[in-house]
Amino acid sequence: MIDYQYITIGEIVAADYRASDVFKKHGIDFCCGGHITIAEACNGNLQCEEDIKSQLDSLSEKENTSMTNYNEWSIGFLADYIQNTHHAFVRREIPVLLEYLEKIAQVHGENHPELPEVFRQFEASTEALTEHMKREEVVLFPAVKRMESAQQLDVSFEKQGFGSVNNPIHQMLQEHDKEGERFRKIAELTNQYNIPADACNTYLVALSKLKAFEEDLHKHIHLENNILFPKAIALEKSVLSYNC
Protein backbone atom coordinates (compact mmCIF):
# COMPACT_ATOMS: atom_id res chain seq x y z
CA MET A 1 0.00 0.00 0.00
CA ILE A 2 1.19 3.50 -0.82
CA ASP A 3 1.69 6.04 1.97
CA TYR A 4 -0.12 9.12 0.64
CA GLN A 5 0.77 11.38 3.56
CA TYR A 6 3.71 13.16 1.93
CA ILE A 7 3.44 12.32 -1.77
CA THR A 8 1.88 15.07 -3.91
CA ILE A 9 -0.96 14.69 -6.36
CA GLY A 10 1.39 15.55 -9.21
CA GLU A 11 3.79 12.79 -8.15
CA ILE A 12 0.92 10.28 -7.97
CA VAL A 13 -0.23 11.11 -11.50
CA ALA A 14 3.34 11.18 -12.76
CA ALA A 15 3.76 7.60 -11.54
CA ASP A 16 0.46 6.42 -13.06
CA TYR A 17 -1.56 8.71 -15.34
CA ARG A 18 -4.69 6.62 -14.71
CA ALA A 19 -4.84 8.41 -11.35
CA SER A 20 -5.79 11.61 -13.19
CA ASP A 21 -9.30 10.22 -13.73
CA VAL A 22 -9.70 9.70 -9.98
CA PHE A 23 -8.80 13.32 -9.25
CA LYS A 24 -11.00 14.59 -12.09
CA LYS A 25 -14.02 12.81 -10.56
CA HIS A 26 -13.44 14.73 -7.33
CA GLY A 27 -12.87 18.06 -9.09
CA ILE A 28 -9.21 18.18 -8.05
CA ASP A 29 -6.67 19.90 -10.28
CA PHE A 30 -3.80 17.46 -10.86
CA CYS A 31 -1.73 19.61 -13.24
CA CYS A 32 -1.45 23.22 -12.03
CA GLY A 33 -2.55 22.19 -8.55
CA GLY A 34 -0.46 19.05 -8.42
CA HIS A 35 2.00 20.35 -5.82
CA ILE A 36 -0.26 19.54 -2.85
CA THR A 37 -1.16 16.29 -1.06
CA ILE A 38 -4.51 14.50 -1.11
CA ALA A 39 -5.21 15.70 2.44
CA GLU A 40 -4.58 19.31 1.43
CA ALA A 41 -6.76 18.95 -1.67
CA CYS A 42 -9.62 17.50 0.39
CA ASN A 43 -9.26 20.33 2.92
CA GLY A 44 -10.15 18.30 6.01
CA ASN A 45 -12.84 16.17 4.37
CA LEU A 46 -11.84 12.70 5.62
CA GLN A 47 -14.46 10.93 3.49
CA CYS A 48 -12.99 12.59 0.40
CA GLU A 49 -9.51 11.42 1.39
CA GLU A 50 -10.60 7.85 2.00
CA ASP A 51 -12.58 7.65 -1.25
CA ILE A 52 -9.63 8.88 -3.29
CA LYS A 53 -7.09 6.64 -1.56
CA SER A 54 -9.35 3.62 -1.99
CA GLN A 55 -9.77 4.31 -5.71
CA LEU A 56 -6.03 4.85 -6.13
CA ASP A 57 -5.27 1.60 -4.30
CA SER A 58 -7.66 -0.20 -6.63
CA LEU A 59 -5.73 1.19 -9.59
CA SER A 60 -2.40 0.02 -8.20
CA GLU A 61 -3.79 -3.51 -7.90
CA LYS A 62 -4.62 -3.59 -11.62
CA GLU A 63 -1.87 -4.16 -14.17
CA ASN A 64 -1.07 -0.97 -16.04
CA THR A 65 -0.60 -2.28 -19.56
CA SER A 66 -2.12 0.50 -21.63
CA MET A 67 -0.63 3.61 -20.06
CA THR A 68 2.74 5.12 -20.92
CA ASN A 69 5.18 5.68 -18.06
CA TYR A 70 6.48 9.12 -19.00
CA ASN A 71 8.70 9.09 -15.91
CA GLU A 72 10.91 6.50 -17.56
CA TRP A 73 11.59 8.62 -20.64
CA SER A 74 14.76 10.65 -21.01
CA ILE A 75 14.18 14.34 -20.43
CA GLY A 76 15.16 15.25 -24.00
CA PHE A 77 12.77 12.70 -25.45
CA LEU A 78 9.99 13.97 -23.20
CA ALA A 79 10.60 17.56 -24.32
CA ASP A 80 10.41 16.46 -27.96
CA TYR A 81 7.23 14.51 -27.26
CA ILE A 82 5.56 17.52 -25.64
CA GLN A 83 6.53 19.73 -28.56
CA ASN A 84 5.61 17.27 -31.31
CA THR A 85 2.39 16.07 -29.70
CA HIS A 86 0.87 18.69 -27.41
CA HIS A 87 2.30 21.87 -28.93
CA ALA A 88 1.35 20.59 -32.37
CA PHE A 89 -2.19 19.81 -31.16
CA VAL A 90 -2.62 23.32 -29.73
CA ARG A 91 -1.44 24.96 -32.94
CA ARG A 92 -3.64 22.73 -35.08
CA GLU A 93 -6.80 23.29 -33.03
CA ILE A 94 -6.51 27.04 -32.40
CA PRO A 95 -7.69 28.35 -35.80
CA VAL A 96 -10.55 25.82 -36.00
CA LEU A 97 -11.82 26.63 -32.52
CA LEU A 98 -11.52 30.38 -33.02
CA GLU A 99 -13.66 30.10 -36.15
CA TYR A 100 -16.30 27.90 -34.51
CA LEU A 101 -16.49 29.87 -31.26
CA GLU A 102 -16.78 33.20 -33.05
CA LYS A 103 -19.53 31.81 -35.27
CA ILE A 104 -21.68 30.39 -32.45
CA ALA A 105 -21.19 33.60 -30.44
CA GLN A 106 -22.63 35.56 -33.36
CA VAL A 107 -25.48 33.13 -34.11
CA HIS A 108 -26.44 31.99 -30.60
CA GLY A 109 -25.17 34.91 -28.52
CA GLU A 110 -28.63 36.37 -27.98
CA ASN A 111 -29.96 33.19 -26.32
CA HIS A 112 -26.60 32.29 -24.79
CA PRO A 113 -24.96 35.56 -23.69
CA GLU A 114 -22.02 33.63 -22.20
CA LEU A 115 -20.72 32.67 -25.66
CA PRO A 116 -19.04 36.00 -26.56
CA GLU A 117 -17.13 35.79 -23.26
CA VAL A 118 -16.15 32.20 -23.99
CA PHE A 119 -14.74 33.36 -27.31
CA ARG A 120 -12.86 36.25 -25.66
CA GLN A 121 -11.40 33.97 -22.99
CA PHE A 122 -10.27 31.39 -25.55
CA GLU A 123 -8.84 34.06 -27.86
CA ALA A 124 -6.77 35.45 -24.97
CA SER A 125 -5.63 31.93 -24.11
CA THR A 126 -4.49 31.22 -27.65
CA GLU A 127 -2.36 34.36 -27.73
CA ALA A 128 -0.76 33.50 -24.39
CA LEU A 129 -0.22 29.82 -25.26
CA THR A 130 1.35 30.65 -28.62
CA GLU A 131 3.98 32.88 -26.98
CA HIS A 132 4.43 30.44 -24.10
CA MET A 133 5.13 27.48 -26.38
CA LYS A 134 7.51 29.52 -28.50
CA ARG A 135 9.59 30.42 -25.43
CA GLU A 136 9.68 26.79 -24.35
CA GLU A 137 10.84 25.67 -27.78
CA VAL A 138 13.44 28.41 -28.21
CA VAL A 139 14.75 28.73 -24.64
CA LEU A 140 13.83 25.98 -22.18
CA PHE A 141 13.73 22.79 -24.25
CA PRO A 142 17.08 23.40 -26.00
CA ALA A 143 18.66 24.19 -22.60
CA VAL A 144 17.33 20.92 -21.18
CA LYS A 145 18.76 18.97 -24.12
CA ARG A 146 22.16 20.66 -23.76
CA MET A 147 22.28 19.69 -20.10
CA GLU A 148 21.31 16.13 -20.93
CA SER A 149 23.95 15.94 -23.66
CA ALA A 150 26.64 17.28 -21.31
CA GLN A 151 25.75 14.63 -18.76
CA GLN A 152 25.75 11.81 -21.31
CA LEU A 153 29.05 12.88 -22.89
CA ASP A 154 30.63 13.58 -19.52
CA VAL A 155 31.72 17.07 -20.58
CA SER A 156 31.63 20.44 -18.86
CA PHE A 157 28.44 22.45 -18.97
CA GLU A 158 28.25 26.24 -19.06
CA LYS A 159 25.40 28.05 -17.38
CA GLN A 160 22.68 29.37 -19.65
CA GLY A 161 22.33 33.04 -20.49
CA PHE A 162 19.18 33.16 -18.37
CA GLY A 163 21.02 31.79 -15.32
CA SER A 164 19.46 28.87 -13.51
CA VAL A 165 16.85 26.77 -15.28
CA ASN A 166 14.61 27.67 -12.34
CA ASN A 167 14.14 31.13 -13.86
CA PRO A 168 12.28 30.16 -17.05
CA ILE A 169 10.53 27.32 -15.23
CA HIS A 170 9.19 29.75 -12.62
CA GLN A 171 7.73 31.87 -15.43
CA MET A 172 6.27 28.82 -17.18
CA LEU A 173 4.59 27.68 -13.96
CA GLN A 174 2.98 31.08 -13.49
CA GLU A 175 1.72 31.04 -17.07
CA HIS A 176 0.35 27.52 -16.62
CA ASP A 177 -1.59 28.73 -13.58
CA LYS A 178 -3.10 31.58 -15.62
CA GLU A 179 -4.26 29.24 -18.37
CA GLY A 180 -5.59 26.76 -15.84
CA GLU A 181 -7.66 29.54 -14.29
CA ARG A 182 -8.81 30.73 -17.70
CA PHE A 183 -10.09 27.27 -18.64
CA ARG A 184 -11.81 26.88 -15.29
CA LYS A 185 -13.68 30.05 -16.23
CA ILE A 186 -14.52 28.69 -19.69
CA ALA A 187 -15.78 25.42 -18.18
CA GLU A 188 -17.93 27.40 -15.74
CA LEU A 189 -19.35 29.60 -18.50
CA THR A 190 -20.29 26.57 -20.61
CA ASN A 191 -21.70 24.60 -17.67
CA GLN A 192 -18.85 22.10 -18.01
CA TYR A 193 -19.23 22.01 -21.82
CA ASN A 194 -22.88 21.01 -21.59
CA ILE A 195 -24.62 21.03 -25.01
CA PRO A 196 -27.90 23.05 -24.81
CA ALA A 197 -31.10 21.81 -26.42
CA ASP A 198 -31.09 24.53 -29.10
CA ALA A 199 -27.51 23.87 -30.19
CA CYS A 200 -26.77 23.46 -33.89
CA ASN A 201 -24.10 21.08 -35.19
CA THR A 202 -21.46 23.80 -35.15
CA TYR A 203 -22.29 24.55 -31.51
CA LEU A 204 -22.01 20.86 -30.63
CA VAL A 205 -18.68 20.46 -32.43
CA ALA A 206 -17.29 23.68 -30.94
CA LEU A 207 -17.97 22.66 -27.34
CA SER A 208 -16.80 19.10 -27.93
CA LYS A 209 -13.52 20.34 -29.41
CA LEU A 210 -13.15 22.93 -26.66
CA LYS A 211 -13.52 20.22 -24.02
CA ALA A 212 -10.94 18.07 -25.82
CA PHE A 213 -8.62 21.08 -25.96
CA GLU A 214 -8.87 21.56 -22.20
CA GLU A 215 -8.28 17.85 -21.54
CA ASP A 216 -5.18 17.86 -23.73
CA LEU A 217 -3.95 21.03 -22.03
CA HIS A 218 -4.32 19.35 -18.62
CA LYS A 219 -2.10 16.48 -19.72
CA HIS A 220 0.30 18.88 -21.44
CA ILE A 221 0.72 20.97 -18.27
CA HIS A 222 0.94 17.85 -16.10
CA LEU A 223 3.84 16.47 -18.15
CA GLU A 224 5.70 19.74 -17.75
CA ASN A 225 4.84 20.72 -14.17
CA ASN A 226 5.10 17.29 -12.60
CA ILE A 227 7.71 15.49 -14.71
CA LEU A 228 9.75 17.66 -17.11
CA PHE A 229 10.37 20.64 -14.83
CA PRO A 230 11.41 18.64 -11.72
CA LYS A 231 13.70 16.51 -13.92
CA ALA A 232 15.24 19.65 -15.44
CA ILE A 233 15.92 21.18 -12.02
CA ALA A 234 17.47 17.93 -10.76
CA LEU A 235 19.55 17.54 -13.94
CA GLU A 236 20.93 21.08 -13.63
CA LYS A 237 22.00 20.43 -10.04
CA SER A 238 23.68 17.20 -11.10
CA VAL A 239 25.53 18.72 -14.06
CA LEU A 240 26.67 21.85 -12.23
CA SER A 241 27.75 19.81 -9.21
CA TYR A 242 29.79 17.58 -11.48
CA ASN A 243 31.46 20.63 -13.08
CA CYS A 244 32.51 21.90 -9.69
Q: Residues of the chain whose pLDDT is less than 50?
A: 244
Long-range contact pairs involving 123-131 (C-beta distance under 8 Å, separation at least 24): 123/98, 124/182, 125/179, 125/182, 125/183, 125/186, 126/94, 126/97, 126/98, 128/175, 128/178, 128/179, 128/182, 129/90, 129/94, 129/179, 130/91, 130/94
pLDDT, one tens digit per residue, over 201-225 is 999 999 999 999 999 999 999 999 9
pLDDT tens digits for range 61-106 = 776 555 678 888 999 999 999 999 999 999 999 999 999 999 999 9
pLDDT score, position 188: 96
Query: In the chain, where are the structural domains located?
Result: 9-61, 72-243
pLDDT score recorded for residue 63: 60
